[in-house]
Structure 1
């Protein structure tokens, strides 16, 4: 039986769920931000920067930031949107059949006045994190509850704790076209992607990827999204980030399911995206 407890992460109110097999997830109400995911063997699978503020003053560096309604600056509003800096509500939780879940919701009435004014659309978001054995599933639902079509982009900007970047690779992208941070469009020829410098690549989505690290193998699957984004800042960019210790870039890789270009959602329509991570 799942155990759900209210807790704190830094100064942030958070919710922790512990499954019968010992797997755990901790989510802050600020941003519906998944801060920790431990499989039943006690291993932490996510990375959170030691330098990030944990008081709600700015977005959190690490875990799983929720990107909505725009990716980066691909839209007219706040960079990466307001969802990651808004306070969500815990609206459901529980467990049965070996699954344990937490569900969070956000709508227009939850927004700070400046965000509601800047993005004047009626919407309802729900995000459910489900623990199932050595897997974590994130189900993201966007509903247009207004009377006008609105455009949106979305991503789950997942930071994986890889231990040692030099021993990390991603397979499943061979022969896939990608756009890099220089806006070059290329094709990945090698069977596996390795990290020896800055990476900021946008791939078209594939059914599944495998993240190989020194001490774990994770299978990543997605539905509903259009892209995989792969990011590591490299040494120079990491040094310029005030909320990341200079050497912490060696400990993580971001791989995120995304729809980076804003696409229309009609009045009354619903979009859903699923991201599943399985530890082998």
Structure 2
């Protein structure tokens, strides 16, 4: 898999690829890898990469008629920039436009642009959606970020204790999930976790066992927390035995209410991550 690399003036490093416009690696200046990427992942036409930051568009998960998580995460994007930005940050940018293959699945004219920026202990991932057609378009989606953890027993998610959520794990997935009142406590892991938190404001914090990540989003109203747990983790062919214990997905998302983009208009959403 051919990679595009970018290095910040302070030593932070990004690596991504054209398959899916996919961020594969984010290393902070101390050399620590902050994302999880499965070595068994073999990207191919119709096959997405396991780990990093898959772009889910124009549909989140299986909540609609399109392929699961849409179709852009396994298409070949154009790399439009790779290097060090004027402000010293590592910068990679990608673009994808509608073509005959996308219109066969979703008859909309669009251009997606992805900008990846990193410096110091901070990463910013921005997805822009241009409606290049003559009619409005609507979509759901996510930045499906796999954060590396030293071990799942050490992982904790805080900042969502006061938020209700919809549970999609196990039997709850049938019928569109089950709504729950706020837990009032940080989220721990072990069994499968698949939760959608709607209308999230403020920061989410993920304790990884190697520091805490503070995760914020603009433009994405919802947040998804996911780990497959032991049964589903063991069933994933592109995941090593036990590797489900080495990541937690905290996703900036649009799930409950689709975004509508007027003809000729632009939508932009960003996920920002900082080691604190």
TM-score range relative to shorter protein:
over 0.9
Question: Paired residue for 1:218?
Answer: 213
- The question of whether the paired residues in 1 share the 8 Å contact of 2:215 and 2:273 is answered with yes
- The question of whether the paired residues in 1 share the 8 Å contact of 2:44 and 2:74 is answered with no
Deviations 1:238-274 (A, max 9, x none): 1111111231111110010000243322111111101
Residue 64 (structure 1) shift:
0.4
What is the alpha-carbon distance in structure 2 between the residues aligned to residue 163 and residue 55 of structure 1? Answer: 29
Per the normalisation by structure 1, the TM-score is 0.91
Per the normalisation by structure 2, the TM-score is 0.92
Please, which of 231, 234, 240 is the counterpart of residue 236 of structure 1?
Answer: 231
Q: Report the number of matched residues.
A: 266
Question: Paired residue for 2:87?
Answer: 97
Unaligned regions of 5+ residues in structure 1, if any? 1-11
1:33 equivalenced with 2:22 (yes/no): yes
- The question of whether the paired residues in 2 share the 8 Å contact of 1:98 and 1:133 is answered with no
1:193 equivalenced with 2:180 (yes/no): no
Please, which of 233, 249, 261 is the counterpart of residue 265 of structure 1?
Answer: 261
SS of 1:13's partner is coil
What is the alpha-carbon distance in structure 2 between the residues aligned to residue 266 and residue 173 of structure 1? Answer: 32
1:161 equivalenced with 2:148 (yes/no): yes
Deviations 1:16-37 (A, max 9, x none): 0011111100011110100000
Question: Paired residue for 1:180?
Answer: 167
Bigger strand fraction: 1
Instruction: Decide whether aligned partners of structure 1 residues 240 and 189 sit closer, same or farther in structure 2, where only a CA change above 3 A counts.
Output: same
What is the alpha-carbon distance in structure 2 between the residues aligned to residue 78 and residue 151 of structure 1? Answer: 16
What is the alpha-carbon distance in structure 1 between the residues aligned to residue 123 and residue 197 of structure 2? Answer: 22
Q: State how 1:51-90 maps to structure 2 within 5 Å.
A: 51-56=40-45, 58-90=47-79
Residue 54 (structure 1) shift:
3.8
Residue 53 (structure 1) shift:
1.0
Unaligned regions of 5+ residues in structure 2, if any? none
Question: Paired residue for 2:248?
Answer: 253
SS of 2:63's partner is coil
1:46 equivalenced with 2:42 (yes/no): no
SS of 2:210's partner is coil
Question: Paired residue for 1:146?
Answer: 133
Residue 175 (structure 1) shift:
1.4
Residue 63 (structure 1) shift:
0.5
